[in-house]
Amino acid sequence: MHVEIYSDGSSRGNPGPGGYGSVLHYTDAQGQLHVKELSQGFVTTTNNRMELLGVIVALEALKRPCSVDVYSDSQYVVKAFNDHWIDGWLKRGWKNSKKERVKNQDLWRRLLAAKAPHQVSFHWVKGHAGHPENERCDQLATEAADGSGLILDEGFTSEDV
């Protein structure tokens, strides 16, 4: 089963109110496209946390192991895997190349767990450049950040800024 995940995060201030938006695409054996949209807003968070959470929640929505292409305008997320930053962080005990604590460890760990059962490839797309799915994710993320029903980002700390 192959799934395409498009994801974006938004923060009104950094930190500030934020949200994520994700769109999942799956085409079944009969050629029918299935689309699922996910979004949530948070009282106080950062853009990077929302970029991560959008991918996490989409992967966690998958009910069986899949081949997944993740499309994100976040170089932070995409480069962590494609440029093997995450491998270095793990080898150094969650320290970056400057021997500083890696920010957002709670979400990186959750992303690794959500990714584990799947074969995942990460692809960078330019944000705000007319890519229809990325534009939809941005709309979902900003509406969530600006909406009512904001929840607490329980893992957010001032160290993540």
37 an active-site residue? no
Among residues 51, 133, 153, 160, the one annotated as catalytic is 51
The answer on whether 138 is annotated among ligand-binding residues is yes
Which tokens go with 117?
Answer: 């059962």
87 an active-site residue? no
133 an active-site residue? no
Helices (H), 14-161: 47-60, 75-82, 85-91, 105-115, 132-146
Backbone angles phi, psi at 37, to 5 degrees: -115, 140
Sheet containing strand 2-11, edge to edge, reads: 33-45, 16-27, 2-11, 67-72, 119-124
Among residues 73, 133, 153, 160, the one annotated as catalytic is 73
51 an active-site residue? yes
84 an active-site residue? no
Among residues 4, 133, 138, 160, the one annotated as catalytic is 138
Instruction: List the catalytic residues.
Output: 8-9, 51, 73, 128, 138
- Binding residues for Mg(2+) are 8, 51, 73, 138
- Residue positions forming the annotated binding site: 8, 51, 73, 138
